[in-house]
Amino acid sequence: MRAYSLRRFITAMALAVAALSPSFVCAQDAAPSADAPVAVEAAPTPDAPPSYEALVLQLGNGGFDDKIKAVETLTATGDARSILVLQAMMDGNLYMHESQVFIAESGARDAKLRNALSNADAGVTAATASRVTVNNRLRGILRSALGALTLFSPDPALRANGAAALFRSRPPEMAEPLAAALAKETDPAAKREMEHTLAAIRVTGAGDEAQRIAAAAALGNYADPETRAILTGLLTGDLSPGLRATVTSSLSKVEGKLAFWGVINNVFQGVSLGSVLLLAAIGLAITFGVMGVINMAHGEMIMIGAYTTYMVQELFRAYLPGLVDWSIVLSVPAAFLLTGAIGVAIERGVIRFLYGRALETLLATWGISLILQQAVRTIFGPTNREVATPSWMSGAWEVVGGLTLTYNRIAIVIFSLVVLGMIALLMRHSTFGLHMRAVTQNRRMASSLGIRTGAVDALTFGLGSGIAGIAGVALSQISNVSPNLGQSFIIDSFMVVVFGGVGNLWGTLVGAFSLGLVNKFLEPYAGAVLGKIFVLVAIILFIQKRPRGLFALKGRSVEA
Amino acid sequence: MSKFVRAAAVAAAFVASTAIATVSAQAQETIKVGVLHSLSGTMAISETTLKDTMLMMVDDLNSKGGLLGKKVEAVVVDIASDWPLAAEKARDLLAKDKVDAVFGCWTSVCRKSVLPVFEELNGLLFYPVQYEGEESSRSIFYTGASPNQQAIPAVDYLMSKDGGEAKRWVLLGTDYVYPRTTNKILQAYLKSKGVAQADIIESYTPFGHSDWQTIVSEVKKFASAGKKTAVVSTINGDANVPFYKELGNQGIKADQIPVVAFSVGEEELAGLDTGPLVGHLAAWNYFMSVKAPENAAFIKKWHAFIKDTKRVTNDPMEAHYIGFNMWVQAVKQSGTTNVDAVRQAIIGQKFKNLTGGTSTMLVNHHITKPVLIGEIQANGQFDIVSQTKDLVPGDAWSDFIPESAKLTADWTYPWVCGNCEKPKY
């Protein structure tokens, strides 16, 4: 039975190649002679399998067991048309309507339906038809079936994906088609995936010893946890001495690489947490660090920034749906201006009357934070708002199997450094920066020299608030956009600023990244809750020793 | 038994009604029910919807002529996600506003802090959220799921062929009483099914945890040991969004490592792009996608009331729907809103739930419910992939914790007790 179905499969593969190949005519010419001689004899089998049409209809009927059977039979026919249908089923775009199977053009409720067999317009939308439900088991089978079907696809990315999908299930009967695909493969990425899958299948298979040893040696070139699991699993079984030695050496190679990438991963996660802390704290480093205002409403500025991102996104969805991926870029200036303006208003309306009275400032800004929270809750409602991750920021970069860096985190790390760099430039090299430093160092003298200290105060506070708004744009990508967003960042922000040294931007940078790294290296051992407590205790002890933080400002102005 | 209950109820109702008639014959123009939910603070995200649900049902009842010939009035208070405040507000509702029943609380810590107030002042509280069990109070009716109506069936599903035959388990939770107790029960249950301690990890995070990189990587590492791994999540509230975003970004597909959640419903998914999450699971007793005429009518009414056809419905809303209607029936049966009468009349009340079955109030103050397992879809709804054939009666005390297995909760004669090893009489 296995030999029969395997042959049928190879035939199918050949047909798939033929159908999908861009040079369809030549492939068709070649098919009977060179590529697949079995094609001719396999066609008229005695117990002819159900027709493609019948199988497609079966996909939509019965329980999950029936559907799985239908998918498996359909895959075995290798009909290239089934790729489209199975992909639609995987994506949840397959529908039944009046006992016909339809494919929806998108996931939307009003998506048009096309007949899966005739491609005719169904005349109804997805809302009226009933969707073919899929569960995880079926999804796994679909993934591997699509992997097998796309091994010969003209698109190298699809071929690589196909091989990777087969790696998860590792069906032994796929060894030969894989070897055939590998022989023709020219794309290095696809080739690597295919070699990986093939080695994983061959090493466990009952093939000849030399082949198994070669496969075991090949696996040593990969560094992902699953390869390690395969090799560890092999060692528990009965192996010939030669094979055992190869497996052991491959395993130690894989483990060495995994350990190395594990450390890199931890560093990246620490840097990424650090960049989030940095973003949240930069604004506060200006309002609290430079101006000395204990601004409890800082978190709410972040929250308003995140809501601005949401509003800009909704505007794009309404008027420029094609460019919605780039709405986040426009959100940055929008959030800066909006929160900056709110910051100026708060400074002029409340804080300027309270300079030098830390306790009153604390209470007043806390009150403002509550007012802002409840205002947002009243306008937008208490539920989370969805800010979609743009496609260029979603997903992850698989450096190697053991290390995946998510794009949104990478983007946030870069973004936080750019923001910090710009603030540093502004403070050092612009007239406004000069005025700002002059006013904070010696208000009376600055005033005597003709600087309008009131305006500088308002603009500095606006700048700090605007930066918090920009942070909100970035944080909307990793956190919830809800009225409580700011509260979760306010304590961390103060921690970073105090730890790094009040009034020092570099201190904020170093403080944020060292807190991020320490947190991430502690977390695997101590757990998230204890890790946080350790960090807090460590900071308290540190502040006892160095009350001015890591980078203390020196000079007379500090004492004032 | 039921005959006795009914007799007792009628007797109590008679005594109570004569008593009440003298006290407040002229004062009571309306029947008051308290709504005790957080309308601000962390929990507002979930609880505001429940307040609206209550207002909708009260409106609906009044438009049908009210109750016992009187209008029903909802007294709404905001507990601001602050648990000591919840106890204070509960005291106000019972002592000052003299409400006849209270519908409220979401978190277990809220319920635990108002419980003594309700027992002291003899109030009635309907608690609509799934919880950790291990409790049965004279004054509280639990219309949400207990662990045997949610957690255990979910784990059973993941162990089944359709669920992927999971062999290794990651129990993730927020650090407070509900996840810790649920995981204690689950640990005991998994071990009774032959899962080794080495194949289970438990991990807790603080409320509002936002950086999930390490934990998600750990899950990936744990799952790559060659055995099918599943994640059971009792992560609550705001922390879910960053958790699911991290899952999606790190490319954890549901067919490789399924995550089943007990606190994530339609409302929580509304703030998320669910595209990368298709196939992850949730276990509830109700989904908005259930095809039943009662459900369709309920959704229609909800959309009309809230004036927004995009709003979703969820499980705790159904729990309030059942709880409120059972209370209405018990009031009608006793002919009075007197707490003692209603408390006894409500046991045995049957009401059609929104999934096509009929829920019953049990003697342990829990109700019978179906258990549904749903998979997240790209449109933010759930596809139901498994459903129990019969309704599952709620268990107050878990059978899988030795010290609890001995206890019985039964508020009828001869037990009349929420946590006894022997009947009282």
- Please check whether residue A382 touches B, CB under 8 A: yes
pLDDT at A193 over 60: yes
Helix boundaries (H) for A50-187: 52-59, 64-77, 81-90, 136-150, 156-169, 175-184
Model confidence at A25, pLDDT cuts 50, 70, 90, reads very low
Distances (CA, A) of A31 to A12, A52, A363, A427, B240: 11, 21, 81, 71, 53
Model confidence at A321, pLDDT cuts 50, 70, 90, reads confident
- pLDDT at site B9: 53
Is B340:B346 a contact under the CB 8 Å cutoff?
no
How much of chain B exceeds pLDDT 90, in percent? Answer: 67
How do residues A77-125 score in pLDDT, each as one tens digit? 877 788 888 888 888 888 888 888 888 887 777 788 888 888 888 778 8
The verdict on a CB contact (< 8 Å) between B242 and A136 is no
Q: Which two tokens stand for residue A509?
A: 């940078």
Helix boundaries (H) for B238-397: 240-249, 266-269, 293-306, 315-334, 339-345
With CA atoms as reference, the chain A residue closest to B378 would be A107
| Rounded mean pLDDT, B193-222 | 89
The predicted model scores a pTM of: 0.78
Interface test with A, best of B255, B267, B280 (most A CBs within 10 A): B255
pLDDT at A16 over 60: no
Top-ranked range on mean pLDDT: pick from A164-173, A238-247, B295-304: B295-304
- pLDDT at site B66: 92
CATH number of the domain at B151-261, please?
3.40.50.2300
pLDDT at A285 over 80: yes
pLDDT at A11 over 60: no
- pLDDT at site A49: 63
* Local structure of B375: helix, strand or coil: strand
Query: Which comes out higher in pLDDT, residue A170 or B233?
Result: B233
Model confidence at A396, pLDDT cuts 50, 70, 90, reads confident
Structural domain includes residue A276: yes
- pLDDT at site B176: 87
Name the DSSP class of B280: -
Q: Which two tokens stand for residue A111?
A: 């998506």
* Local structure of A538: helix, strand or coil: helix
* Local structure of A186: helix, strand or coil: coil
Q: Which two tokens stand for residue B260?
A: 């089943």
Is B127:B143 a contact under the CB 8 Å cutoff?
yes
- pLDDT at site A44: 45
| Rounded mean pLDDT, B150-165 | 92
Name the DSSP class of A136: H
CA separation for the pair A393, A409 (Å, rounded) = 9
| Rounded mean pLDDT, A270-282 | 91
- Please check whether residue A92 touches B, CB under 8 A: yes
pLDDT at B253 over 80: yes
CA separation for the pair A428, A23 (Å, rounded) = 63
Q: Which two tokens stand for residue A374?
A: 């409840």
Nearest to B287 by CA among B316, B308, B260: B316
Place of tokens 């540093």: A424
Place of tokens 């790190």: B250
Least confident of A50-59, A354-363, B304-313, B413-422: A50-59
CA separation for the pair A151, A17 (Å, rounded) = 9
Identity of the residue numbered B198: A
| Rounded mean pLDDT, B280-297 | 94
Structural domain includes residue A14: no
The verdict on a CB contact (< 8 Å) between A524 and B221 is no
With CA atoms as reference, the chain B residue closest to A259 would be B221
How do residues B32-61 score in pLDDT, each as one tens digit? 999 999 988 778 878 989 999 999 999 999
The separation between the first and the last C-alpha atoms of chain A, rounded to the nearest angstrom, is 90
Is the backbone peptide bond immediately before B414 cis, with ω within 30 degrees of 0? Answer: yes
Indicate the residue of A143, A224, A382 with minimum beta-carbon distance to B45.
Answer: A382
- pLDDT at site A440: 79
- Where residue A354 sits, what CATH number does that domain have? 1.10.3470
Instruction: Classify B2-146+290-368+395-420 by CATH class.
Output: alpha beta
| Rounded mean pLDDT, A205-211 | 78
The verdict on a CB contact (< 8 Å) between B44 and A228 is no
Query: Which comes out higher in pLDDT, residue A428 or B18?
Result: A428
Model confidence at A48, pLDDT cuts 50, 70, 90, reads low
Place of tokens 């990508």: A477
Structural domain includes residue A354: yes
Distances (CA, A) of B29 to B24, B59, B61: 9, 16, 16
pLDDT at B295 over 90: yes
Over chain B, what is the mean pLDDT? 89
pLDDT at A157 over 70: yes
CA distance B331 to chain A (A): 33
Is B351:B358 a contact under the CB 8 Å cutoff?
yes
Indicate the residue of A233, A273, A408 with minimum beta-carbon distance to B211.
Answer: A273
CA separation for the pair B333, B361 (Å, rounded) = 14
How much of chain A exceeds pLDDT 70, in percent? Answer: 89
| Rounded mean pLDDT, A540-546 | 88
Nearest to A166 by CA among A180, A149, A154: A149
Nearest to A86 by CA among A74, A96, A77, A99: A74
How do residues B306-360 score in pLDDT, each as one tens digit? 998 888 999 999 999 999 999 999 999 999 999 999 999 999 999 999 999 999 9
Query: Which comes out higher in pLDDT, residue A537 or A122?
Result: A537
Nearest to A161 by CA among A180, A181, A176: A181
Is B212:B246 a contact under the CB 8 Å cutoff?
yes
Place of tokens 């497609």: A56
Report the number of distinct structural domains present in chain A.
1
CA separation for the pair A184, A167 (Å, rounded) = 19
- Please check whether residue A276 touches B, CB under 8 A: yes
Top-ranked range on mean pLDDT: pick from A125-139, A141-155, A513-527, B175-189: B175-189
- pLDDT at site B326: 96
Measured on CA atoms in the order B261, B267, B272, B276, is the torsion positive or negative?
positive
Q: Which two tokens stand for residue B356?
A: 């096509």
| Rounded mean pLDDT, B66-89 | 93
- pLDDT at site B15: 47
Residue A8: CA count within 13 A, CB half-sphere: 19
How do residues B105-142 score in pLDDT, each as one tens digit? 998 989 999 999 999 999 999 999 999 999 999 999 99
- pLDDT at site A34: 39
Sketch the domain layout of chain B as residue ranges.
2-146+290-368+395-420, 151-261
Taking CA B206 as the corner, what is the angle to CA B111 and CA A306, rounded to the nearest 5 degrees?
100
- Please check whether residue B224 touches A, CB under 8 A: yes
Query: Which comes out higher in pLDDT, residue A126 or B367?
Result: B367
Rg (CA), chain B: 22
Indicate the residue of B224, B268, B378 with minimum beta-carbon distance to A107.
Answer: B378
Taking CA B376 as the corner, what is the angle to CA B356 and CA B378, rounded to the nearest 5 degrees?
115
With CA atoms as reference, the chain B residue closest to A108 would be B379
Neighbour-count burial for A434-464, b at 16+ CB within 10 Å, e otherwise: ebbbbbbbebeebeeeebeeeebbbbbbbbb
Distances (CA, A) of A230 to A199, A201, A414, B227, B284: 11, 10, 37, 11, 36
Phi, psi dihedrals of residue A289, rounded to the nearest 5°? -65, -50
Residue A492: CA count within 13 A, CB half-sphere: 28
Q: With beta carbons under 8 A apart, name residues in chain B contacting A377.
A: 40, 44
Least confident of A454-458, A546-550, B121-125: A546-550
With 0-12 / 13-18 / 19 or more C-beta atoms within 10 angstroms meaning exposed / middle / buried, residue B108 is buried
CA separation for the pair B317, B304 (Å, rounded) = 16
- pLDDT at site B75: 96
Structural domain includes residue A26: no
CA separation for the pair A539, A512 (Å, rounded) = 12
Enumerate residues 487 to 526 of chain A having a beta carbon within 8 A of any beta carbon in chain B: 487-488, 519-520, 523-524
| Rounded mean pLDDT, B9-25 | 47
With CA atoms as reference, the chain A residue closest to B271 would be A386
Residue A372: CA count within 13 A, CB half-sphere: 27
How do residues B219-242 score in pLDDT, each as one tens digit? 988 888 778 899 999 998 778 888
pLDDT at B164 over 60: yes
Query: Which comes out higher in pLDDT, residue A414 or B17?
Result: A414
- pLDDT at site A402: 65
pLDDT at A547 over 90: no
pLDDT at B8 over 70: no
- Please check whether residue B173 touches A, CB under 8 A: no
| Rounded mean pLDDT, A230-240 | 83
pLDDT at A485 over 70: yes
Least confident of A153-167, A348-362, A492-506, B25-39: B25-39
Domain that holds residue A495: 261-559
pLDDT at A484 over 70: yes
Taking CA A8 as the corner, what is the angle to CA A7 and CA A11, rounded to the nearest 5 degrees?
90
Phi, psi dihedrals of residue B110, rounded to the nearest 5°? -65, -50
Query: Which comes out higher in pLDDT, residue A401 or B424?
Result: B424
Structural domain includes residue A159: no
With 0-12 / 13-18 / 19 or more C-beta atoms within 10 angstroms meaning exposed / middle / buried, residue A349 is exposed
CA distance B220 to chain A (A): 8
CA separation for the pair A535, A512 (Å, rounded) = 12
How do residues B358-368 score in pLDDT, each as one tens digit? 999 999 999 99
Q: Are B2-146+290-368+395-420 and B151-261 the same fold in CATH? A: yes
